[in-house]
């Protein structure tokens, strides 16, 4: 949880990853989107990531949304009833939209993870409701069937490309 990669290195790594994906899927009818970075929105870091990686690299800019904070917070019950705290979500979306508009208009914003409190929800606040909601949602959307997934690119080719990049 505490590990991180500097934004300059992360952006350069994404450029390499995009090159690998472009090579692997060059003749494919499937073209994957690069969905990154999967963390909490930090204005400066996200702006720099889009600047370093450059145009067309990141297709989808994701962020995590846990507006109540950590699961072990003793004030969690009070927070979930605070309209001002819940309204902060709007400012996160607004700031992220502005970042994309200025620094990455080729990208779109998605919520990568969301919930009330992170680390599996807060006791008596969000752990039971979310777990029950997920179960109902999974049952209604998926039922007993699994969707088929296919690709015309082999995973072995992906690892060969990674080895070539790591050598260079």
pLDDT digits (tens, 9 = 90+) for 109-122: 988 877 766 666 66
Q: Is the Cα torsion angle 52, 54, 60, 61 positive or negative in sign?
A: positive
User: Is 37 exposed, middle or buried (CB count within 10 Å of its CB: 0-12, 13-18, 19+)?
Assistant: buried
Residue 31's region, left for phi above 0, alpha for psi from -120 to 50, else beta, is beta
Give the pLDDT confidence of 13-43 residue by residue, as tens digits.
999 999 999 999 988 888 889 999 888 889 9
pTM above 0.85, yes or no: no
Give the domain ranges of the chain.
7-162
């Amino acid at each position: 949880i505490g590990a991180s990669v500097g934004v300059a290195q992360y952006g350069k790594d994404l450029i390499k990853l995009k090159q690998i994906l472009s090579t692997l899927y060059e003749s494919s009818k499937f073209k994957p989107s690069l969905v990154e970075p999967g963390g909490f929105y930090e204005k400066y870091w996200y702006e720099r990531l889009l600047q370093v990686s450059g145009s067309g690299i990141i297709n989808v800019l994701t962020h995590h949304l846990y507006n109540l904070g950590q699961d072990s917070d003793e004030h969690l019950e009070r927070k979930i009833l605070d309209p001002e705290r819940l309204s902060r979500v709007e400012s996160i979306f607004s700031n992220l939209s502005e970042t994309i508009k200025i620094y990455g208009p080729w990208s779109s914003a998605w919520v990568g993870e969301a919930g009330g409190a992170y680390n599996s929800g807060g006791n008596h606040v969000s752990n039971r409701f979310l777990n029950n909601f997920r179960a109902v949602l999974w049952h209604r959307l998926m039922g007993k069937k699994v969707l088929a997934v296919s690709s015309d690119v082999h995973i072995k080719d992906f690892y060969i490309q990674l080895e070539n990049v790591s050598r260079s």
